[in-house]
Amino acid sequence: MPKENTPKLVCFSCKFGWGYLNRNGCEKKVKSLIPVTCSGKLDTITIIRAFQAGADGVIILGCPEGECHFQDGNYQARNRVLLLQRLLGEFGIEPGRLKIKMGLDPMGDTIPDIIDEMSAELIHLGPLSMQAGNPVKADPEGEAKLRRSEAIS
């Protein structure tokens, strides 16, 4: 019987809405649990670097809509994720590998279920193959866009 793929998942979590993630054994399910001051403070480069470092998926846990301690940080994070999902799709990476969950669970009771659900989706998608930071699955047009973006920076 073949061994089931264990996806590499990175979880960024707002400390205010989701607590510190170390109360419910979450650290055993996800090796990369990263508390952040606000989901809105998480920039696109950090998310992209998680994928470049070998993550099969990234989930961001942000405060509920309208309840951000930093005014509109959760809205900024949601919009950033929506844009990044479109960009990932352009490069042949399934947009479902990046998700945001907005809610409130300071005790972390629902986090294991959220992680399990995301992990199941990543198992279905399979591992994300990366070579030299570029997705193997990328189409030629996506690879050309990546080369142009590298030339700009």
What's 106's domain CATH number?
Answer: 3.40.50
Q: Decide the pairing of beta strands 9-14 and 134-135.
A: unpaired
Whether residue 58 is contained in a domain is answered as yes
CB 18 within 8 A of CB 106: yes
Q: How far apart are CA 68 and CA 75, in angstroms?
A: 9
Nearest to 93 by CA among 122, 128, 120, 123: 128
Whether residue 145 is contained in a domain is answered as yes
Domain extent for 77: 9-152
Whether residue 1 is contained in a domain is answered as no
What is the pTM (predicted TM-score) of this model? 0.77
Mean pLDDT by 10 residues, the chain (153 residues): 71 79 61 85 91 92 86 90 93 93 81 89 87 44 46 42
Q: How far apart are CA 85 and CA 148, in angstroms?
A: 19
Whether residue 4 is contained in a domain is answered as no
Instruction: Give the count of domains, the chain.
Output: 1
Eight-class DSSP state of 21? S
